[in-house]
Chains A and B, each alone.
Chain A
Amino acid sequence: MAEAGWEHFHHVADIGVRGYGATVEEAFAQTALALTAVIADPAVIVPRLPVAIECTAPDQELLLVDWLNAIIYEMATRAMLFSRFTVRIAGELLIGEAWGERVEVARHRPAVEVKGATYTALRVSEEGGRWLAQCVVDV
């Protein structure tokens, strides 16, 4: 079983977010955690409330960007941060949930807003049973 996880990677002005998992869904959920970690430490965000997210795109890479942008939209309009994600993908459709709570500056100490997920260094791939999903986000 491939181990799930996330990391950031280098981009000179912004930040790359990368997730791994045994399935594409798990990799997408981990990339969302990497996105959260650009803003704040996911460990201090309590997954109190779920927000439903749905998006469609003609390929997996565009679907990843849509997924991340949908989370960015929910963070911005609900003033929330998320620390737990579930993802189901069926063809062009992604149905997911983001669990989190309202931003509390003193506790979450958010560093920066994310403006959007981009197509830079965008990749969704599988190798030896391990899925990878990544792109650069604009901050």
Chain B
Amino acid sequence: MDLNLFTRHDAYTWRINPRGRMRVPAVIFADERLIREMDDKVYEQVTNVATLPGIVKAAYAMPDAHWGYGFPIGGVAAFDAEAGGVVSAGGVGFDISCGVRTLTTGLAADEILARQQELALALARAIPAGVGSTGGLRLDAKGMDAMLAGGARWAVAEGYGTREDLARIEEGGQMSGAVPEEVSDHAKKRQRDEMGTLGSGNHYLEVQQVMEVYDPAAAALFGLRVGEVVVSIHCGSRGLGHQIGTEFMKRMALAASRYGIQLPDRELACAPINSPDGQAYLGAMRAAINCALANRQILTHLTRAAFSDFFPQAEPALLYDVSHNTCKVEEHEVDGRCRQLYIHRKGATRAFGPGHGELPEIYRDTGQPVLIGGTMGTESYILAGTAASEGQAFSSACHGAGRAMSRHAALKKWRGRQLVDELAGRGILIRSPSSRGVAEEAPGAYKDVSAVVEAAHQAGLARKVARVEPLICIKG
């Protein structure tokens, strides 16, 4: 993007002053190279978000931002219901509550390397991934509604994981305010065979080695030690969330004019929070959050079972579970006043700082763990929320590397088999049912995750705790 479009606030903060129908400024956090290379569409989309009714303070974009649907991916925006604020299906996205969870294993990398091939095969068999894969669990109508209301708490009650896991999941593993009745029969049917499945695209399960620790005190509390192994799972609410996103996008696009909302882009489809359409969406979207939490909980159970066959002494413990496609009601201080706001994070991670009341006791002093996925060939990062984060973008940070190249272009540049061989040469085993899917997800098709994380760290969105690198990657 052209730097002349911005007022540079500091080395990592780029501001667009309100113009035209913008109600608030737009702010992008990035270093100079990232913002130069950022898609022009981010500028258009973040300024469009700034025109929506009831938006508070500013529309934000994270360092990994790229062209999304209405909102940029990597977008954050807060709305006040009492000021006519809106909730937007596009502002949450199709994969509602897509997120990452990381488990510490206590195992040394050498122990994994000694059995790397066998473990990769066992995980590929244990974790349903890719088009047409189905989970081992079928829910009847009553079970489906219980899952949608209960989230990971439901999953634990059904025998997937332990009660100790729940404190280490946002919302204690259960999103309140979910209304399963607002979830259509179509959405429920689409989920029927998909509980405990990984999906495809950029979703993955990775066995990773801790390579470097930046914040020893936080790392120790998170259970991260250099040379030890963690497992990270990236996926979301599967077909149910996709269907809810699809249905409410249309419903809100058609309803917006009824509410007197002028949409600069149909994809910004939204409805007032205090309206029947807004409330219906919130009820359904929260049910989808529970679906994602339950799904990741089931995948955790499958992962533990696969590990126990090889390492019976290991007890993989949940470090934390974050969702990066959500709209959540949170209290934030704005101009010296505490306000209840609806925070949309589309491809952005919540990053509450130390002492925040919603953090579990164990992380009260460190701040919220912030889990940032890289690509199958590059490092991922674990960060923590900072005190400064609240003043930046309502305690939000980036969510991943962010794509730099289209799937189409990636497919022209790389071959799946060749990538798998190259990565195997570097000690990274990729297991995927689709060679083309691997090519589309080539590490070179993404931004430099280290630059994204460094920008987030320097901008005060979150602070670096540790860096991990993949040993095994299961892709859909």
- Partner-B contacts on A (CB < 8 A): 8-15, 39-40, 57-58, 62, 65-66, 69, 72-73, 76-77, 79, 103, 105, 109-113, 115-120, 122, 136, 138-139
Contacts and interface: CB of A to CB of B under 8 A. Distances in A.
B189 A14 contact: no
Contacts of A12: 39, 41, 66-67, 403-406
Given A118-B94, A138-B93, 16 more contacts: A9-B408, A12-B41, A12-B405, A13-B68, A39-B131, A57-B250, A62-B253, A69-B246, A77-B239, A109-B435, A111-B437, A115-B245, A118-B69, A118-B249, A119-B265, A138-B242
Given A10-B408, A119-B69, A138-B69, A66 B132 contact: no
Interface residues of B, number: 50
A65 B251 CA distance: 13
A10 B132 CA distance: 26
Interface in B362-394: none
Given A77-B192, A105-B130, A11 B67 contact: yes
Interface string B34-74: 00000101000000000000000000000000111110010
Contacts of A115: 94-95, 242, 245
Contacts of B405: 12
A136 B266 CA distance: 13
Nearest to A7: B408
Contact of B190 (A15, A40, A73, A136): A73
A113 B190 CA distance: 13
Nearest to A104: B132
Contacts of B254: 58, 62
B250 A66 contact: yes
Nearest to A79: B132
B177 interface: no
Contacts of A105: 130-132, 433
Contact of A103 (B131, B201, B407): B131
Nearest to A41: B436
Nearest to B268: A119
Contacts of A39: 131
B434 interface: yes
B216 to A, nearest CB: 36
Nearest to A61: B266
A73 B242 CA distance: 10
Interface string B194-223: 000001110000000000000000000000
